[in-house]
Amino acid sequence: MKKTIKKHLKIHIRTGDRVKILAGKHRNEEGTILKVFPKTYRAVVEGMNIVARHIKPSAQHPKGAIHKEPAPIHISNLMLIDPVSGAPTRVGRKHNEVGTLQRYAKKTGNFIQNV
């Protein structure tokens, strides 16, 4: 039998980060990360990729309802916006003065503060 190796990729964005969308219907738009799903390598961006969910009739909604909510976007389609310069940048990891591993913007070299 063939063994399958599950590879977990490192995620360059976190909840609260401001990102630019690189592909899809909302290309070149910016938003804030609401939630990150590391196992599926996806993230929910505020106000982007809105889908309609149908709710069955219940006591609260006797006729049922249509609820609109943002759906997850693949993380490869997102790029972090540098908080200092405001430009999209790639993200790297290096040790800071204290010796802990921290994210930094490759375009400017500035460390990205955790939200």
Q: Which domains, ranges and CATH numbers included, belong to the chain?
A: 18-105 (2.30.30.30)
- What pTM was computed for the model? 0.80
* Residue 9 confidence (pLDDT): 77
* Residue 115 confidence (pLDDT): 58
* Residue 73 confidence (pLDDT): 94
> Pick the residue with more confidence: 23 or 113?
23
Cβ contact 81:57 at 8 Å: no
Spatial CB neighbours of 36, under 8 Å, sequence gap ≥ 6 = 11, 13, 14, 15, 42, 43, 44, 75
Mean pLDDT of the chain: 89
Average pLDDT over residues 5-22: 86
Give the rounded percent of residues in the chain with a pLDDT score beyond 70: 94
Give the rounded percent of residues in the chain with a pLDDT score beyond 90: 63
* Residue 4 confidence (pLDDT): 67
